[in-house]
């Protein structure tokens, strides 16, 4: 073999080492096993790869006909009382097959808890999301939830969890962060982000703080277009960067950069910006771990360059791993990325030592994981039963709302009660209430929903209506998806002989939802309103905010409304 060919083989393996592609199916395709043999450094799992476990089920006596709520099929039984469903044996077998081909492969997954879950996509997350944890404001609770998510992820054989989100949700209209953030206060986001990281990594799985340098002050979804954070540099320093500094101080092993434009730092998108990834993150903030991109097929960057060019520019800017959510059926796209990277080295557009440095950081992460087998074994025996529901209950907040548009409610706020076991009262928040029994018989639940962002993916959490049907048999649900449903909605509300619950998600972001809610409250001023997203202006005779739409949060809200203990 010639020296040039040997160098070429080495370059090919270096280029493969920095790629983290997704794939289809619940078994590794032949092309993926071949790529691992050729040096592929990572793989990312999605819901399409996961074989769900059969979790312990709750009483679904109100759902015997299998239709769940009126208007759609049931997603099936889900975890109860914080029991972890997660991935089944098929997923761990899939990962084991990958590791047989390459023992040090970095297996990644996007497992945030709350609305974004891959391992529990079939049933919805057993854990409340970040906003709920931020509202509960108990760092020990956040740390315990992080550890339990780490325990679940570790059981599937995962190396790297693309979580937590440490963006500060500065704009409530943000279409892609919202309840995925710990909140709008940088100090609180930093505290809870650090606690979540400590909990997850104590279970022997690497955490990844995202989306650097902060995706919270945007109104554009980077899956669809390039968002811009137009704040001054001093605002970014004061608001967006502190949670990432806290994550670094907590020992986070990876940081994911966001596909967003930050003109105060550079004219290039952060993923492609040396000023952001090397100047700011590495040199100013002192981060020495793995930097991974968000998925490069997202339109924020895919509209600017082809995939190979994105990978080359991201590596040159300082990224170490390239996340590729979608691969071609036979893997040609992965090899095309490899070839684009090696060509850039040969052409002098990407330094070979920069590529080698990136590949070295991927190996370092794999070595860190390998050294923590004992942590994973300890976490496997550390089930924290009931934690998910307790944490979701601790995040419930209730305020009296006006009775429709006509005036204040005569009922007043629910009587404050002790928070759930293990959770502290949140200072400066609205009153906590646990289990007052607002509903005494089966209600009609009107659910107003918009299409979820691509970050959420194909998740089917238990709905509030389904959770109430577990407790109050006969509960039915009517789905409302847009403003054209007004006539049907008003006809549905004609049944005044039963309680009405109106469930909305992120009404603050959707004018049609707010208008429909007002119409509904004109017809039924006695309705209880449950907001499962970022809270807005209280409405209805009672306004309950869950701060997330996980299965755990749905059950917590249902039990509160029905006056049931955990």
pLDDT tens by residue, 124-182: 999 999 999 999 999 999 999 999 999 999 999 999 999 999 999 999 888 889 999 99
* Rounded Cα gap, residues 296 and 300, in angstroms: 9
Q: Active site includes 259?
A: no
Which of these is catalytic: 192, 211, 215, 223? Answer: 223
Confidence of residue 450 (pLDDT cuts 50, 70, 90): confident
Mean pLDDT of 184-190: 98
- Residue in this structure with the two tokens 């599937």, named with its chain if needed: 156
Task: Please check the confidence at residue 216 and state whether its pLDDT lies above 50.
Answer: yes
Q: Active site includes 547?
A: no
Task: Please check the confidence at residue 50 and state whether its pLDDT lies above 50.
Answer: yes
103 burial class (0-12, 13-18, 19+ CB within 10 angstroms)? exposed
pLDDT of residue 223: 86
pTM above threshold 0.75: yes
Distance of CA 168 to the CA centre of its chain: 14
Task: Please check the confidence at residue 539 and state whether its pLDDT lies above 70.
Answer: yes
Which of these is catalytic: 63, 161, 294, 506? Answer: 294
pLDDT of residue 418: 33
227 Cβ contact partners less than 8 Å away, ≥ 6 residues apart: 215, 218, 219, 220, 221, 258, 259, 260, 261, 300
DSSP state letters, 261-275: B-TTT-SSBGGG-HI
Q: Per-residue b/e over 239-272, b at no fewer than 16 CB within 10 Å?
A: bbbbbbbbbbebebbbbbbbbbbbeebbebbbbb
> Comparing 65 with 531, which gets the higher pLDDT?
531
Angle made by CA atoms 471, 477, 481, in degrees to the nearest 5:
140
pLDDT of residue 402: 62
pLDDT of residue 220: 83
Mean pLDDT of 381-406: 83
496 Cβ contact partners less than 8 Å away, ≥ 6 residues apart: 524
pLDDT of residue 493: 72
pLDDT of residue 85: 52
DSSP state letters, 299-314: HHHHTTS-HHHHHHHH
Confidence of residue 438 (pLDDT cuts 50, 70, 90): confident
Instruction: Look up residue 105 and give its two tokens.
Output: 């492969």
Q: What is the pLDDT of residues 317-347, one digit of tens each?
A: 999 999 999 999 999 999 999 999 999 999 9
Q: Nearest Cα to 193, choosing from 210, 216, 174, 213? A: 210
Alpha helices in 203-235 (DSSP H): 233-235
pLDDT of residue 51: 86
Task: Please check the confidence at residue 420 and state whether its pLDDT lies above 80.
Answer: no
Q: Nearest Cα to 243, choosing from 282, 290, 194, 289? A: 194
pLDDT of residue 9: 64
215 Cβ contact partners less than 8 Å away, ≥ 6 residues apart: 167, 174, 176, 177, 222, 227, 229, 258, 260
> Comparing 547 with 565, which gets the higher pLDDT?
547
Confidence of residue 454 (pLDDT cuts 50, 70, 90): low
Task: Please check the confidence at residue 512 and state whether its pLDDT lies above 80.
Answer: yes
Confidence of residue 78 (pLDDT cuts 50, 70, 90): very low
Mean pLDDT of 387-403: 88
Task: Please check the confidence at residue 1 and state whether its pLDDT lies above 60.
Answer: no
């Amino acid at each position: 073999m010639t020296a040039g060919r040997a160098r070429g083989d080495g370059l090919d393996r270096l280029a493969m080492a920095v790629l983290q592609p997704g794939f289809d199916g619940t078994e590794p395709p032949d092309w993926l096993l071949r790529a691992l043999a050729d040096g592929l450094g990572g793989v990312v799992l999605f819901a399409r790869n996961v074989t769900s476990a059969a979790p312990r089920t709750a009483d679904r006596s109100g759902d015997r006909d299998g239709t769940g709520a009126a208007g759609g099929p049931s997603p099936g039984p889900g975890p109860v009382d914080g029991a972890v469903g997660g991935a089944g044996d098929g997923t761990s077998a899939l990962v084991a097959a990958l590791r047989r081909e390459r023992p040090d492969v970095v297996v990644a997954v996007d497992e945030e808890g709350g609305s974004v879950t891959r391992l529990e996509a079939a049933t919805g997350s057993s854990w409340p999301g970040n906003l709920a944890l931020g509202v509960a404001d108990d760092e020990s609770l956040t740390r315990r939830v992080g550890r339990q998510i780490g325990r679940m992820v570790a059981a599937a054989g995962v190396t790297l969890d693309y979580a937590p989100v440490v963006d500060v949700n500065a704009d409530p209209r943000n279409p892609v962060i919202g309840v995925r953030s710990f909140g709008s206060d940088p100090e609180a986001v930093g505290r809870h982000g650090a606690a979540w990281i400590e909990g997850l990594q104590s279970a022997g799985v690497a955490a990844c703080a995202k989306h650097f340098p902060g995706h919270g002050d945007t109104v554009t979804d980077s899956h669809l277009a390039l968002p811009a954070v137009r704040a001054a540099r001093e605002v970014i320093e004061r608001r967006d960067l502190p949670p990432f500094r806290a994550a670094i101080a907590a020992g986070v092993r990876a940081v994911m950069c966001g596909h967003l434009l930050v003109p105060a730092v550079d004219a290039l998108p952060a993923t492609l910006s040396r000023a952001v990834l090397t100047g700011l993150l590495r040199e100013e903030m002192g981060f020495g771990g793995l930097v991974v991109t968000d998925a490069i097929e997202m339109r924020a960057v895919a509209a600017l360059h082809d995939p190979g060019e994105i990978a080359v520019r991201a590596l040159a800017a300082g990224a170490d791993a390239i996340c590729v959510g979608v691969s071609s059926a036979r893997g040609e796209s992965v090899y095309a990325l490899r070839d684009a990277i090696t060509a850039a080295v040969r052409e002098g557009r990407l330094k070979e030592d920069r590529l080698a440095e990136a590949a070295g950081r991927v190996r370092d992460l794999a070595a860190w994981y390998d050294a923590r087998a004992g942590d994973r074994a300890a976490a496997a025996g550390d089930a924290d039963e009931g934690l998910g529901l307790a944490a979701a209950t601790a995040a419930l907040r209730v305020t009296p709302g006006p009775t429709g548009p006509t005036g204040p409610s005569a009922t007043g706020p629910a009587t404050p009660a002790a928070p759930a076991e293990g959770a502290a009262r949140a200072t400066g928040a609205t009153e906590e209430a646990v289990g007052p029994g607002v509903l005494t018989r089966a209600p009609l639940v009107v659910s107003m929903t918009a299409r979820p962002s691509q970050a959420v993916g194909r998740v089917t959490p238990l709905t509030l209506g389904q959770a109430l049907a577990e407790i109050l048999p006969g509960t039915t649900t009517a789905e409302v998806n847009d403003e054209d449903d007004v006539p049907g909605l008003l006809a549905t509300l004609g049944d005044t002989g039963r309680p009405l619950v109106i469930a909305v998600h992120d009404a603050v972001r959707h004018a049609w939802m707010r208008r429909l809610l007002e119409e509904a409250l004109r017809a039924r001023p006695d309705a209880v309103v449950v907001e499962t997203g970022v809270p807005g202006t209280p409405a209805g005779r009672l306004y309950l905010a869950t701060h997330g739409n996980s299965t755990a949060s749905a059950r917590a809200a249902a039990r509160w409304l029905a006056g049931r203990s955990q």
